Structure 1
């Protein structure tokens, strides 16, 4: 579609409108297609490519694989080079067959036993909302964003290394502390997606591999943040060990009392995106992702943190039938303040420990 005749401001509006419209257009699983491609011409040397895929055939990791392979093919075509995509050792059907054959009997029972114990009598997260919760869950959403300064982002990474945890574990622990403060609860459960590609043969495949884990942490007995961090670390490591069983199977097994007003087992999700580097410039062509406004929210809240060259980029997606934008902006401010306080407290403790060592030489 050629948009060159439009004024600049109208071009941007039209791109956003078309991207939103295309994303909201359903796929027909029976007839297809499950992949749609649209090319928008902005200027003679500027284009926007819209790739729309049904989630049944892709996930976040797969999208990166697809974009990487498209860029590889584009470069080969532009430079008149032979196409050199790495041959796949297996296909998605091979993985599906392996999973079906492996995840049964004693293996399946062991996986289910862990989740039955871990999620027994899991409480609802009692977040205060600006509006009464609809009787049936809605998915109307929006998002607010906040970027943490680069120096502060580096401090968080340094802290995580000092405490022998991943950045994900550190940010999850902080987010669960924040939710505890907002709700007054000490039993906090948050959902998170996991790539679920533990075998090297799966890294180059395009398909739906991602699974959802429920990470339930005990923040009771007034622990320090470092104690919370170690608890969260243990929860994460145990969950990773039992990540292979599909979330839908866990829900089916636990059979929680169905409440049509909210999602089962958890209502808040946390995501850390530390995506692999994708070449941004090839053969004189610069490639940048298109940011499309979010108009849906699968959960009450979804905090997405992305590692960027400018610092940690925090995007908080929320259900607009529950929350006002101002509430979400305040929550993000409190999120940043909490992270800053965690860094300051850790640095103070480190200085105190160093002082004690100087006063008490071994």
Structure 2
């Protein structure tokens, strides 16, 4: 099998490091180039990265010289994977696309463009079909919280609900390695995260949208979000309340989540979990300390119904399901759909 040659923008950041680790032993995606900021170009990855991933830097990349983000340095790869911060991503990714270089990106610019698929593979891999006639392919992954909170909602949207309310409790790693001062979060909870309360409903509506005339039409949904930053390193948790006029069958709902496996028809999805939704019966689960290991699974617990409201607690690894892992799974899915 010919390997897919990829390069990685933002390779020294937290998401970039996670992607380096995931791709180090991938059977058919070959990470051949690493890119970082202008000041690091030409330096060896191992000597310039502040490596915070568990375990050592994969040997192959330790001495690899970093390249620029310029299209000239990425013309010989099949795809560029972007883990850039949003302020850098917009201009750099547009230059790559205009030069005919395919991009799969974690960054927020253009996520809501109707001709750019926003992919959470288990939920909307069919949206990738709008790329079939495009010579240059541009794909976005959702915001880390959107990606996690959207997963169990597929089992909710089939019932008669009125409104969905989410309170997200987001780990400090969601702000980047140096994104939040220690004195701001130590022994503290910050009840606001800029932009999150607007992004999450919009992105969930797009993920659950439909393809019409080669574009994505967002689904009309009533989703209210309150976003809170909490002093944990990894793992975004959400308390989801769904207002409904029906008396739901909770056991059937939970069993549907356990059986949720929309990608089972594909083969060769190296990053896909066997069970994307893990349902916990214990009253004190899920927990960040127990359930945010390096997996793509989304954990669901405390599923209950009272006074017209279905409640559940949802947790996922924001750096894996919410970022690096979802990028790799998107590429794997595209290959199985013959889009690569």
TM (normalized to structure 1)?
A: 0.22
- Greater helix share, 1 or 2? 1
TM (normalized to structure 2)?
A: 0.23
